């Protein structure tokens, strides 16, 4: 089942992630990291910076776990 077709310079080829199996596959490798993972980390850093400026949070560490969840540790008990 095709979800999207490229109609243009690629001459009707399908895009990566355009089939149902690829669209539902969460194991995208490097492309998924650069597409979503990096954006999530940057968003987390921006939110942590904003919270720091507001005096609500002083983040010590930022990480992404295996499921893709963003983890931010603070300096009060190192809670996540």
- pLDDT (average), residues 17-44: 60
Domain ranges for the chain: 30-74
> Please, what is the Cα angle at 36 between 80 and 76, to 5 degrees?
15
pTM tops 0.85: no
Evaluate if residue 14 carries a pLDDT over 70: no
The confidence score (pLDDT) of residue 18 equals 52
| CB-count exposure of residue 7 (10 Å: 0-12, 13-18, 19+) | exposed
- pLDDT (average), residues 30-47: 70
The confidence score (pLDDT) of residue 30 equals 52
The confidence score (pLDDT) of residue 5 equals 43
Evaluate if residue 66 carries a pLDDT over 80: yes
Long-range contacts of 40-49 (CB under 8 A, 24+ apart): 40/64, 40/68, 40/70, 41/70, 43/70, 44/70, 44/72, 48/72
């Amino acid at each position: 089942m095709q979800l999207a077709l490229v109609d243009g310079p690629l001459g009707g080829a399908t895009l990566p992630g355009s089939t149902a199996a690829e669209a539902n596959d969460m194991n995208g490798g490097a492309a998924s990291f650069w597409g979503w993972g990096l954006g999530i980390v940057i968003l987390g850093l921006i939110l942590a910076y904003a919270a720091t400026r507001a005096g609500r949070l002083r983040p010590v560490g930022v990480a992404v776990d295996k499921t893709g969840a963003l983890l931010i540790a603070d300096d009060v008990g190192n809670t996540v």
